[in-house]
């Protein structure tokens, strides 16, 4: 099968993890397929893989230039290659019909519709246009969780008439990470508002106020203008001796930090999948999550779940996670081991085959 992959919107976050893993392993699963990958001209996506890369220039500003490049250049690329199928790695590609191949689009999440306050007005508008058009043109959908597929069908009922599969992300990439232990601090994240950093800090302050021995906490993804505000919040709560902030880390350092983490604390209030949940379990870590549908789905009953969205509930969950025994950790790891990129690729290709 000849497949054209639109990876123009796959530079960061979970979608970057997905596309890197899929491109790296696709030929191991389907060696006879011919993959062509459209990427921004300055991107490193697909580097070192055997697939054909098509580097497309994107004018500035990027948030407007990328949809323009997809509309003008993806269409001509599809007409030249005449692929059997086109895979959009996010529900945004050319707003004009590509004219070639069945179009399948990956559905990460619909946070911009369900948590609009977390996005700028311009970004919401761009997504409304580009996503809405892709929903209309797509022949099938590939959701990274049942939660995301349910949200798609509920918010856009016409999509329910088209074929769809759920292709969970893989977590077996952590097998190449450093040997895990639990010698480091608890690790959490604050790179987006849905990760709930204020709730996290309030929970640690609650632990200290109770007289509990709060585990050391490292909060990742804090940089730029956000760091002073979060550091001030830590100082105000009197928890500077147990909570540290760190920016986005290079891959190798990030892997070392997660592999050594005492536990993963992930009180995100909205996820399409919640990859740290499965990565943490695959590394033998206790994992704390909130009662968030996607995280509950992928945790499979093996994470410690907050009773509600209060700081006290998160503090209680952290204390419970501290006492998780080896048998429970082994069961969680066995569950996480079922999340493989091979399974993701097979499910994705089934949607491309129609």
DSSP states of 68-93 as a string? Answer: HHIIIIIHHHHHHH--SEEEESSS-S
pLDDT at residue 339 in the model? 98
In 136-274, which ranges are E strands? 140-143, 164-166, 186-189, 217-220, 243-245, 264-266
Q: What is the pLDDT of residues 265-283, one digit of tens each?
A: 999 999 999 999 999 999 9
Q: Is the pLDDT of residue 59 over 80?
A: yes
pLDDT at residue 95 in the model? 65
Mean pLDDT of 72-78: 88
Q: What is the pLDDT of residues 299-324, one digit of tens each?
A: 999 999 999 999 999 999 999 999 99
The answer to whether 190 and 220 have CB atoms below 8 angstroms apart is yes
Q: What is the pLDDT of residues 117-136, one digit of tens each?
A: 988 998 888 888 889 999 99
- Confidence band, pLDDT 50/70/90 cuts, at residue 146: very high
Q: Which single residue is written with the structure tokens 């250049």?
A: 73
Q: Is the pLDDT of residue 96 over 80?
A: no
pLDDT at residue 69 in the model? 86
pLDDT at residue 208 in the model? 96
Query: 28: buried, middle or exposed (CB in 10 Å: 19+, 13-18, 0-12)?
Result: exposed
Using CA of residue 171, residue 175, residue 180, residue 185, what is the dihedral sign? Answer: negative
The answer to whether 341 and 168 have CB atoms below 8 angstroms apart is no
Q: Is the pLDDT of residue 224 over 90?
A: no
Distance CA 159, CA 164 (A): 9
Map out the domains of the chain with their CATH numbers: 2-170+340-352 (3.40.50.2000), 173-336 (3.40.50.2000)
């Amino acid at each position: 099968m000849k497949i054209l992959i639109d990876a123009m919107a796959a530079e960061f976050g979970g979608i970057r993890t997905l596309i890197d893993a899929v491109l790296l392993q696709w030929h191991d699963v389907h060696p006879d397929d011919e993959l062509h990958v459209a990427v921004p001209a300055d991107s490193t996506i697909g580097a070192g893989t055997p697939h054909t890369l098509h580097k497309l220039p994107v004018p500035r500003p990027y948030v407007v230039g990328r949809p323009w490049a997809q509309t003008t250049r993806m269409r001509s690329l599809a007409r030249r290659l005449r692929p059997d199928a086109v895979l959009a790695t996010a529900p945004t590609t050319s707003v004009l019909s590509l004219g070639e191949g069945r179009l399948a689009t990956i559905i990460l999440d619909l946070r911009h519709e369900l948590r609009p306050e977390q996005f700028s007005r311009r970004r919401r508008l761009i997504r409304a246009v580009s996503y809405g058009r892709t929903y209309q043109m797509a022949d099938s959908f590939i959701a990274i969780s049942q939660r995301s597929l349910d949200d798609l069908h509920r918010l856009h009922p016409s999509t329910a008439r088209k074929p769809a599969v759920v292709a969970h992300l893989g977590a077996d990439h952590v097998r190449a990470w450093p040997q895990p232990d639990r010698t480091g601090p608890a690790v959490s994240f604050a790179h987006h508002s849905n990760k709930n950093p204020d709730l996290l800090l309030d929970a640690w302050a609650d632990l200290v106020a109770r007289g509990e021995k709060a585990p050391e906490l490292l909060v990742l993804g804090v940089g730029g203008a956000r760091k002073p505000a979060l550091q001030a919040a830590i100082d105000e709560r009197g928890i500077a001796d147990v909570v540290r902030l760190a920016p986005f880390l290079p891959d190798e350092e990030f892997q070392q930090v997660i592999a050594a983490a005492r536990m993963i604390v992930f009180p995100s209030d909205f996820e399409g999948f919640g990859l740290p949940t499965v990565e943490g379990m695959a590394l033998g870590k206790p994992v704390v999550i909130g009662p968030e549908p996607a995280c509950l789905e992928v945790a499979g009953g093996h994470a410690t779940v907050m009773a509600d969205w209060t700081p006290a509930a998160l503090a209680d969950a952290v204390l419970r996670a501290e006492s998780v025994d080896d048998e429970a950790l082994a069961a969680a790891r066995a569950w996480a081991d079922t999340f493989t990129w091979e399974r993701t690729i097979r499910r994705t290709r089934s949607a491309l085959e129609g």
